[in-house]
Amino acid sequence: MDWHEHISVDPAVCHGQACIAGTRVMVTVILDDLAAGLTVAEIVESYPSVTPQAVKAALHYAAELAKERVVPFGA
| Per-domain residue ranges of the chain | 3-65
Q: Is the pLDDT of residue 75 over 70?
A: no
pTM, entire model: 0.85
- The matching CATH number, chosen from 3.30.360.10, 3.30.930.10, 1.10.10.10, 1.10.443.10, for 3-65 is 1.10.10.10
Angle at 30 between CA 18 and CA 43, to 5 degrees: 140
The residue count for the chain: 75
Q: What is the pLDDT of residue 39?
A: 98
Of 60, 6, 2, nearest to 34 by C-alpha is: 60
Summarize pLDDT for 24-74 with one digit per residue, the tens.
999 999 999 999 999 999 999 999 999 999 999 999 999 998 887 766 777
Q: Is the pLDDT of residue 15 over 90?
A: yes
Q: What is the pLDDT of residue 72?
A: 73
- Measured CA to CA, the distance from residue 71 to residue 48 in angstroms comes to 39
Q: What is the pLDDT of residue 9?
A: 95
- Measured CA to CA, the distance from residue 11 to residue 18 in angstroms comes to 10
The 10 Å CB-count burial string (b at 16+, else e) for 46-72 is ebeebeeebbebbbebbeeeeeeeeee
